[in-house]
Every structure is written in C-alpha cells, then in structure tokens.
Structure 1
C-alpha cells in the first residue's frame, strides 16, 4: 500500500469519473445531432465530423450554439414518451376514458336505487364488452 498513497487513489478515481462523464456528454451530443429534425443532412454530418475530429472544442461549441434546443428536444421526447405510455395504459386497461365515467354514473344510479343489482350487472357487462 505504500506504493500507491490514498491521495493518488483519489486522483485516479476523479480522473476516471471525469473520463466517463466526458464520454457520456460526447454520446449525448452525438445522439442530439441525429435527433434534431431542424438540421439537414449536411449540417448533421458537419456537426458530427466537428465533434469527432475536435471532440473538446466540438462539444463545447455545440453546447454553446445549440444547448438550449437540446434541452427542449429532451423535454419534447419525454412528453411524447409519457403520452404514448399513458395511451398504452388506457388501451391495456380497456378504458377509453368514457367507460370510467359511464361506470361511475351507473354506480350512482344503483346507489340511489334507480336500478336493481341485476340491471347494474347487465349494463356493466355491456360497457366493459
């Protein structure tokens, strides 16, 4: 343990962490280049070459020039995924939104005594079918 002091271990861990973070940022920028629909093919190719040939300068220039749009594209993608998930859950649960309201109205009618239990079960089966 005398050959590798604790401070050197700390510095090694710090550099490893920064190296991993750098690659994360590089991949994030590269995926954002391809995800941006406002850029044409040549612009995407130019940005990608710039980021790959001069990675530090390319990434920092990209973040300065297009960083705000990067956040907006992330938020838009998250919203689209959330909407798709909600739509899938509604479809899988068999509720288009209207059937839940119909069931609650039907339950209210049964609770008030306007319909019998048998009528409630028939109407419920019809709604859920």
Structure 2
C-alpha cells in the first residue's frame, strides 16, 4: 500500500470539503446581505463583498462572529414570512374565510352533527 497516495487523497478530500464548506458559508452571507438585511447601506454591503473576495476565510469568520445573531433573526423572520404566505395561499385556495368556516361549524352544531367541544375546536382552528 502506498501511503503517499492515501495521504494525498485525504489531503485533497479535506481541501474539497473546506472549499464546499466555504461556499455554503459564502452563499449564506451573501443571501443575508442582499436579500434579508434591509438596514445595512449599499456601501457597507460593497465593503463586505470586497473583503470576502480579498480575505475570504477571515472575512467570513468575522462576519459570522459580528453579525451571526442578526443572521439568525433575519432567517427566522424570513421563514415566518414564508410560512405566513403559504398559509394565506392555502386559505385562499381552500375558498373559505374564517367567518365562513365558523358559520359552517355553527350550522353543524345547530343540526346536532357535532358537539359543543368540537365546535369550539373548529372555531379556534378557523381563527388561528
């Protein structure tokens, strides 16, 4: 067994892994800068991009340390907004408003089809 080729393989594997990890971090940073962060000025964004090109690893590390909490908050807000848009679309596609859902549930309650607790559950679900 040629140990040189094994170590070469491991070294290349490590380099490729580091490169892919850096690309993932870079795309997260660029996404945060240009699509999620609306408070940072264009000049500051340009400086971050230039630094990411000139000193890639160091700038990425500094960005993650300095702005990591903000990245997480903006990502959470973006996910919540996407969920709200999806929920709104589903409600719109379903064709009934919450008021119509409650009215239908009230009809079922009046007809004796469902119990008061089931009506309350349907009402709570329609209002959420």
Same fold (TM over 0.5): yes
CA–CA distance in structure 2, aligned partners of residues 64 and 3 of structure 1: 39
Unaligned runs of 5+ in 1: 113-129
Corresponding position: 1:13 with 2:16: no
User: 1:90-129 maps to which residues of 2 (within 5 A)?
Assistant: 90-111=91-112
Unaligned runs of 5+ in 2: 114-128
User: Against the structure 1 CA distance between its residues 4 and 111, is the aligned structure 2 distance closer, same or farther, given a 3 Å change threshold?
Assistant: farther
CA contact (8 A) 1:33 1:48 kept: no
Q: Which residue of 1 aligns with 2:74?
A: 73
User: Against the structure 1 CA distance between its residues 3 and 64, is the aligned structure 2 distance closer, same or farther, given a 3 Å change threshold?
Assistant: closer
Structure with the larger RCO, 1 or 2 (CA within 8 Å, 6+ apart): 2
Query: What TM-score do the two structures reach when normalised by structure 1?
Result: 0.75
The CA RMSD over aligned residues, in Å, is 2.1
- Who wins on radius of gyration, i.e. which is larger? 1
CA–CA distance in structure 2, aligned partners of residues 63 and 105 of structure 1: 53
CA contact (8 A) 2:22 2:57 kept: no
Shift of 1:4: 7.5
Cα deviation digits, residues 8-57 of structure 1 (max 9, x gap)? 54444343222211111111111211131110111111111111221111
CA–CA distance in structure 2, aligned partners of residues 46 and 85 of structure 1: 35
